[in-house]
Structure 1
Amino acid sequence: MQIGDLIRRAGRQFDAAPCLIHGDRTVSFAEFDRLTDRVGHGLLARGLQPGDRVSVLLPNSIDGVVVYYALAKAGLVRVPLNSRETASEHTYKIEDSGSRGLVHAGGPPTQVEVMVDLDEITELMASAPAGGDKPCDVRRDVDAPLRLAYTGGTTGKPKAVVLTTTTEMAEVANFLVDLIPDTTPGSVMLHAAPITHGSGAFFLPHLVKGAPNVVLDKFTPEAFLAAAVDHGATTTFMVPTMISMLLEHPETATTDLRLQRLCWGGAPMATSVITRAVDVLGPVLAQLYGQAEAPLAITCLQPWEHLDHLGSAGKPYTFVEVDVRDTDGNSLPPGEVGEVMTRGPHTMKEYWQRPEATAETIEPDGWLHTGDLGAFDENGYLSLMDRRHDVIISGGYNVYPREVEDVLLGHPAVLAAAVVGIPDAKWGEQVSAAVVLRSPVGAEELTEHCDARLAGFKRPRRIEFWDALPTSPVGKSLRREVRDQMSDDEKETTHV
């Protein structure tokens, strides 16, 4: 089965019902099927061939979603570009992927052969090609590249992850069985985050169930609350920074929301924020753990489990294998920390044109190294400690930055925190923290707060107060940049 088959079937089954909504514009399921056919034919008519990579730089919009799935129907490989990234980052991904085409609304200067702007996409959608509307139905092997998803680049240049139709179908199945099992035509998915990343994964599961997808230009608490009420949103996806912003907004607690699932992921969230979110929004949080190499589908934590399993990433999805192993590849018992491994159709095929990196990441039997450290408990819940390369070794002891950050975030004056290891002649690495405040507090008070909750070797020996932390385009704290900037003598530093 191809992605286009899902779209055609939804077009027949749900016909004139709303499929996509953006502002005052609504596209039905049948119309979405036609529009993706037209754009798919139009892109092939420009000289693109099945298997060619096509970069897409479009804002959150109906047009962007149409282009994404027109590419799938035409057998073209999607390379999504995030509008929050710089022109040089866009150029890197276009060149690294070998993209022959670029669909854009004001793209970066590039030597791409086929440039298609938003006006041309609009023209393609507006009129049927000669001979009338015909299905665009290029059939490719289900394990051929469908899209390239770039890693966050938190440790260097981003790598392109090759995801296939098999990967996409596995993600849809895992979502509908475990994460959003109650999805019906009466559900409404509100895309507040960029569709280039996590939020876009929720489009197909809602399409196949006949549920409309509402797209926001960008996230603000005001825009989210208004759209959620106007459209009766039942499901949404956010990263933790968005949830924090929503909770800070004075109207959130008094707005009558229909949310059944507020799915979140992409970065850790402080337990204090989780408990507050449950208090304000009700038991609707559903955490999902994944990564570019295994998109959003390694484990999930259900709404009714959040408070009883604070700090856990949940249990493996039904069709997913997860194991925790030591450095020799041995499975570890509950309670012991090791690398999280996963296997199943949800994982990537390979890194694009990086066979050595692929061999290092995927074992011959299909198990994928996530690079994350974690441990199962006796009941099968997975807790994540940190990225393997972020672990701080101070005085011979392992310190997991996430644990220290969570303690700092538990102080009411702390808005954001990033903990890193700075080279130290005595201890090997010094536990150091960059902190963003929501209200005034001194380093001494934060130190006392940590002393009461952490072993001495885990306590930050250095605290810096910053105006903001560097983050990736999807809101992840960039510890690598924090580590580099910690050596900047111009910043005011307090050693404690």
Structure 2
Amino acid sequence: MTTAVRWRSIPELVRDAAERFGDAEAVVDGELRLTFAELAHRVRCTAGAFASAGVGPGDRVALWAPNSAEWIVAAFGLLTAGGVLVPVNTRFRDEEAHDIVVRSAARILLVQNGFLGRRFTGPPGVPVIDLKRDGFLASGRPLEHKAGEDDLADVIFTSGTTGRPKGVMTTHGQTLRLYAEWCELAQLRQGDRYLIVNPFFHIFGYKAGLVASLMKGATVLPVDVFDVDRVLELVERERVTVLPGPPTLYHSLLAAGGGRDLSSLRVAVTGSADIPVELVRRITTELPFRHLMTGYGLTEAGTVTASRPGDPYEAIATTVGRPCEGFEVRIADDQEVLVRGYSVMRGYLDDPEATAEAVDEDGWLHTGDLGELDGQGRLRIVGRKKDMFIVGGFNAYPAEIEGFLLKHPAVAQVAVIGVPDDRMGQVGKAFVVPRGEVTQAGLIAWAKERMAGFKVPRYVEFRTQLPLNATGKVMKDQLS
């Protein structure tokens, strides 16, 4: 059954949330506490500020800042002025960020100077406004532009871990329909307290976080930099109920030990190509979450598949669920996952060649992920086309190997890559963050008892941490 959507645009959602939830807390950011009514008023004033600065319908504005109440007001204020949001990864250096600002033709760049001790600069000719210091957000008269469901809402650039980032174009209607369903699958409720560690510049934090919370009347608690002690303190003090994140978040919670009251936690949401079965088991047995949703998504389409409430444990642990309403998923001859549906992007910004390469003439998005479907139509991700390596003629998938290695009691985190080998062409190398005593020889011997010989890593390198991007994914291009 299709989830009913009552809004034509995200600004309409903001206004409707104020009418429905009024004096309930919408945002808690340090000492700042905003009700839904107060948030909507600030958003409308910010829309007026954008209009006064010459930003009109369809104009793009870049937002290069960490999670905060000001980010929320700025983003929704821009959309309410009819503008198009271009979030920028806070881990990008100046040259990387300037490339996105210029390619998106952003009229203005909003920043938060001082974050991580940095001063954020803009490319020549683009005005730079500090979210927290310049008074811009409160400087306008209340305004709301009537956007439509087919109007472009945002251009979100891919992470760029495998090449130059590309700008993914998505409309208001696409976002609203998909994340209305996401709320139901995640069991998000009115009154939930949603701690968002996922960056707002990513769809997990922005759409499955901010947009979803407005839909259901959940309180957003933004976290700018993940620190496990701070997160645990906020969960206890603010009685957090919803805590989604990448697998690394739950690894950290499990490693932090006891001493905090985490009993309020109810909903966990995670998913990636390399979420291990053992981690899913530990989340559901060692932490107080009562509902765990796993899923699969990408910037070019949003959340594509998800587990369903009531799914058996084995399905949640070993797959990323079934397609969301309005999506088709099929597996190509080379095992690539292909996706088709209403939420597939409108294209890459100013890049018709890359768009045509990603979305074929029949509307299938070629994801670059490798997978398989089980008898119930649930998707299992086995790796990335670009990650796969060939050992003596056999295809080896790092995600599968990592899943095996994470079952070892002394392995906390692991990433596997292929490295050159004179005899076999390539062999596996594992980078391991241990949580107990383990040796290279011991881990390799343990692996040989559990997986085919060509899958067993020939080398193991121990690390205190793995290089992660801001969304929690391991940056394998930094491993060698």
TM-score, normalised via structure 2 length? 0.91
SS, match of residue 471 in structure 1: coil
Q: Which amino acid aligns with 2:274?
A: P
SS in 2 for 1:251: coil
Structure 1 residue runs of 4 or more that deviate by more than 6 Å after TM superposition: none
Q: 1:377 aligns with which of 374, 379, 383?
A: 374
1:205 equivalent to 2:212? Answer yes
State the SS of the aligned residue for 2:432: strand
User: Which of 1, 18, 21 pairs up with 2:25?
Assistant: 18
Unaligned runs of 5+ in 2: 1-7, 114-119
| 1:344 maps to 2:325 | no
Amino acid aligned to 2:197: A
Identity of aligned residues (%): 32
Question: Alpha carbons of 1:209 and 1:435: their partners in 2 closer, same or farther (altered >3 Å)?
Answer: closer
Distance 1:115 1:381, change over 3 A: same
Q: In structure 2, how many angstroms separate the alpha carbons of the residues matched to 1:231 and 1:437?
A: 32
Q: Which residue of 2 aligns with 1:7?
A: 14
| In structure 2, distance between residues paired with 1:315 and 1:121 | 46
Which of residues 301, 305, 324 is equivalent to 2:307? 301
Matched, 1:264 2:304: no
Q: Is the 8 A contact 1:259 1:284 kept in 2?
A: no
TM-score of the superposed pair, with normalisation by structure 1 = 0.88
CA separation in 2, counterparts of 1:346 and 1:121? 37
Q: Deviations over 1:39-70 (max 9, x none)?
A: 11111211223222211122221111011101
Residue 220 of structure 1 pairs with residue 227 of structure 2 = yes
- Tell me by how many angstroms 1:15 deviates: 1.9
- Which of 451, 459, 465 is the matching residue for 1:454? 451
Say whether 1:273 aligns with 2:286.
no
Alpha-carbon distance, 1:420 to partner: 1.4
Instruction: Give the paired residue count.
Output: 463
CA distance in 2, matches of 1:48, 1:294: 27
Structure 1 gap segments, 5+ residues each: 328-337, 487-496
Paired residue for 1:335? none
Q: CA deviation at 1:145?
A: 2.6
CA distances 1:109-157 after superposition (whole Å, capped 9, x unpaired) = 42243322225664542x663xxx4x32143x53343111121222111
- Give the SS at the match of 2:330: strand
Match of 2:3 in 1: none
1:453 alignment partner, SS class: coil
| Paired letter, 1:272 | E
**Secondary structure of the residue that 2:244 maps to in structure 1?**
strand
Counterparts of 1:57-456 in structure 2, within 5 Å, are: 57-106=64-113, 107-119=120-132, 122-125=135-138, 129=141, 133=142, 135-139=143-147, 141-180=148-187, 183-197=188-202, 198-201=204-207, 202-251=209-258, 255-266=261-272, 268-282=274-288, 283-295=290-302, 297-302=303-308, 304-305=310-311, 307-309=313-315, 310-327=317-334, 338-456=335-453
1:178 is paired with a residue whose SS is: helix
Contact map agreement 2:161 2:477 (CA 8 A) in 1: yes
Contact 1:58 1:104 in 2 (8 A): yes
What RMSD over aligned residues (CA atoms) do the two structures have, in Å? Answer: 2.1
Q: Structure 1 residues 192, 386: CA separation in 2 closer, same or farther (over 3 Å shift)? A: same
Provide Cα deviations, 1:426-445, integer angstroms capped at 9, x if missing partner. 22222222222233322111
Instruction: State the alpha-carbon separation in 1 of the partners of residues 200 and 167 from structure 2.
Output: 18
CA contact (8 A) 1:50 1:138 kept: no
